[in-house]
Amino acid sequence: MDLWFSEFHTPYVKFSIQIDKQLYSEQTEFQRIDILESKEFGRMMVLDGYVMLTEKDEFIYHEMIVHVPMAVHTNAKRILIIGGGDGGAARELMRYKNVESVDLVEIDKRVVDISREFLPKTACGFDDTRIHLFFEDGLKFIRHCENEYDLIIVDSTDPFGPGEGLFTKEFYGNCYKALKEDGIMVNQHESPFYDEDAFAMQRAHQRIVKSFPISRVYQAHIPTYPSGHWLFGFASKKYHPTLDFDAKKWNDLKLKTRYYNANLHNASFALPNYVEELM
């Protein structure tokens, strides 16, 4: 039998992966969650038909969303993850000894439960006692935070459905308020390549620019996301993402990574001309 999963990356482009087995499927209060087993990418988590992660390439996304800001803010102790219910970002954060606590605010508890059951390599970070789980809407949670966090990681879905509010001006403004005076916010920023995604990214970036004094975009190659060319937003009150990055200090931590490294840190902020023009 020939079983394929396809995601429309545009109305005219379909990305397909051969599936061995559908391991789980559930319609939650918020979204449909599917766990699929594939030969090429291992297990995958799909939300409302969109690939959130695969076992084969999630290291790229999670290393880039965590190590880039952690290498700039070298003394981040209190961290907030908005979304991230699969545990991948939490797992990378738990590798830092100086991290004291991570509040993880996920709107859909089922994402955490299902990740724990089916994606143990991604969800393994949840076992650390420094992680505190809140099952709430991040947009509401952040309204009540002030001067609390060194780093906020917005590990969201695309800018529609349950994640929509995490791309608004109100949300970015509240993140600014929730951060300490040298705090950093990073967020997953979609792809610059296809028009609709590029437009979402551009709009998000313009809103962040209005809320933060320092705001840059960096990139990574993530094979299973639309176009494979993915962006992250880096917004900061004090530290500059490359000028305040100390490669030696990060190398001295001796963290073993498969994607991120000190050269790539600087390189990831160098953007193609067509992307610069969108900013």
Active site (catalytic) residues: 155
- Measured from the CB atom, the residue of 184 and 220 that comes closer to ligand AG3 is 220
The two three-digit tokens of residue 6, written as one number: 């396809």
| Choice between 116 and 237, CB closer to ligand AG3 | 116
Helix axes 195-211, 169-178, angle to 10 degrees: 40
Burial of 212 (0-12, 13-18, 19+ CB in 10 A): buried
Cα four-point dihedral sign 120, 52, 114, 234 = positive
| Nearest residue to ligand AG3, by Cβ distance, number only | 50
Does position 84 interact with ligand AG3 (CB under 6 A)? The reply is: yes
Q: Does 57 engage in binding with ligand AG3 (CB under 6 A)?
A: no
Give the span between the Cα atoms of 234 and 240, in whole angstroms. Answer: 9
86 binds ligand AG3 (CB under 6 A): yes
Residue 34 as a binder of ligand AG3 (CB under 6 A): the answer is no
Contact between residue 157 and residue 225 where contact means Cβ atoms under 8 Å apart: no
108 sits near ligand AG3 (criterion: CB under 6 A)? no
What letter does residue 191 receive in the DSSP assignment?
A: -
Work out whether 80 is an interface residue with ligand AG3 (CB under 6 A): no
Using an 8 Å Cβ cutoff, are 105 and 134 in contact?
A: yes
- Contacting ligand AG3 within 150-169 (CB under 6 A): 155, 157-158
Residue 178 or residue 201: which is nearer to ligand AG3 going by CB? 201
Which residue, 119 or 235, is less far from ligand AG3 as judged by CB? 119
Which residue carries 């690939």 as its tokens?
51
* Residues of the shown chain interacting with ligand AG3 in the complex, contacts defined by CB under 6 A: 7, 50-53, 61, 84, 86, 88, 155, 157-158, 188, 225-226
